[in-house]
Amino acid sequence: MLEKSVTIGQIEVLELGQIQVRTDTKIIEDGIEISKSYHRHVLCPADSLVDEDAKVIAIANAVWTPEVISAYKASIETK
Amino acid sequence: MSWVKIFPLTIAAGGDGKQSGFTKISNELGNLYTVISTLFSVTGHMHTGVDQDGPVIPIAGGGTGAITAAGALAALGGAPLASPSFTGILAIAGQIQFPATQNPSSDPNVLDDYEEGTFTPSLNFSGGTTGITYNNRSGRYVKIGNLVHVSININLSSKGTSTGNANISGLPFVTNSIDNTGTIAGYYHEMVGLTSPPMASAGGGNASLILSFSTTTYWLYLSDGYFLNDSVFNFAFTYTL
């Protein structure tokens, strides 16, 4: 039997609060993984969290304090 | 069933006067089994034997025959080798697998990651995306160490009503703050007023590219006025982390 599994495979928080998210899609046949692919996106401090995974939202809400958001915006503006 | 052949194996059969030749060979193969078990993890279980080419270790029990070093290789009778080194050519049977989560190295001579996948690029004009729609958009990436190569396809069905400078967001990894200016390699059409092919640069700290183009004397940001509702551009870009 073929099954498709879509999960958040990796959540990385970078120094300035950016969050790199990897979504893993696996095709499983009779319990054996026969295919795997990755899709990635990045969230920067203060980005919209609409449609994000609950774990990503929880991490963003914990990391993106007003101080982190201010520091990130200041960093971007100096570049 | 798979077979592992061990060469050379020297056995002085029956030479000690206490064991028959057959018993001696069996004992030596048993010792070899122990050594192999120390060195490798084996799918299935092993038993020993001899074929016309010499001693062999068949892997049975429904295993696939794969033998993998589980982390550090163990020296014969000694401590594990944390960093086995090879002075000659390391021959690989077609594949090198990196872990799904990078094991980062600060050594500039170490390749510590490989990954490929997709992402979804988005066009915006100074951050605005009002009314922008696509016939198609797609992105693919390959990450080799700290180098990321992306290919992007954007095919608009409407450029919307936002105004400002054109950016492409949605890159798979955050760009670093230096050395990220590059030239787009690819093609574009249904755009107006350009005096050179579009260029891209990554300012660093985010997952966006800034689009621009050259004039005879300078360069300009590629703003909404250069786009049409059916603009298309496909390109590749390489940046570092």
ipTM here: 0.88
Q: Which residues of B touch A72 (CB under 8 A)?
A: 205
Q: For residues B206 and B164, what is the distance between their CA atoms, to the nearest angstrom?
A: 18
Report pLDDT for B15.
44
Report pLDDT for A7.
96
Helix (H) or strand (E) segment spanning residue B23: helix B21-39
> Measured between alpha carbons, how far is residue A66 from residues A46, A72, B15 in Å?
9, 10, 81
Confidence band of B226 (pLDDT split at 50, 70, 90): very high
Q: Which residues of A touch B116 (CB under 8 A)?
A: 38
Q: Mean per-residue pLDDT for B47-52?
A: 49
Confidence band of A76 (pLDDT split at 50, 70, 90): confident
**Which tops the pLDDT comparison, B14 or B82?**
B82
Q: Mean per-residue pLDDT for B146-160?
A: 95
Tokens of A17: 């609060």
Confidence band of B89 (pLDDT split at 50, 70, 90): confident
Option in A24, A40, A75 nearest B119 (CB):
A40
Question: Rounded to two decimals, what is the model's pTM?
Answer: 0.72
| Buried b / exposed e along B44-80 (16+ C-beta atoms within 10 A) | bebebeeeeeebbbbbeeebeeebeeeeeebeeeeee
Picking from A13, A17, A26, A23, the residue whose alpha carbon sits closest to that of residue A53 is A23
Q: Which residues of B touch A75 (CB under 8 A)?
A: 205
- The distance of A21 to chain B (nearest Cα, Å) reads 8
Helix (H) or strand (E) segment spanning residue B5: strand B2-5
Taking a contact as any Cβ pair under 8 Å apart, which residues of chain B between 31 and 90 contact chain A?
Answer: none
Q: How many residues does chain B have?
A: 241
Asked whether the beta carbons of residue B203 and residue A76 sit closer than 8 angstroms, the reply is yes
Report pLDDT for B42.
47
Q: What are phi and psi of B133, to 5 degrees?
A: -130, 165
Q: For residues A12 and A19, what is the distance between their CA atoms, to the nearest angstrom?
A: 5
B96-119 pLDDT, tens digit per residue, is 999 999 999 999 999 999 999 999
B interface mutation test: which of A42, A43, A47, A68 has the most B CBs within 10 A? Answer: A42
User: CB within 8 A of B222, min separation 6: which ones?
Assistant: B165, B166, B194, B198, B211, B212, B213
Considering Cα of B69, then B75, then B77, then B79, what sign does the dihedral take?
Answer: negative
Report pLDDT for B52.
52
Chain-centroid distance of CA A6 in Å reads 13
Q: For residues B183 and B201, what is the distance between their CA atoms, to the nearest angstrom?
A: 8
pLDDT at B120 over 70: yes
User: CB within 8 A of B95, min separation 6: which ones?
Assistant: none
Asked whether the beta carbons of residue B177 and residue A42 sit closer than 8 angstroms, the reply is no
Taking a contact as any Cβ pair under 8 Å apart, which residues of chain B between 165 and 194 contact chain A?
Answer: 170-174, 177
B178-192 pLDDT, tens digit per residue, is 656 666 668 888 999
Q: For residues A20 and B174, what is the distance between their CA atoms, to the nearest angstrom?
A: 8
- The distance of A70 to chain B (nearest Cα, Å) reads 14
A19-72 pLDDT, tens digit per residue, is 999 999 999 999 999 999 999 999 999 999 999 999 999 999 999 999 999 999
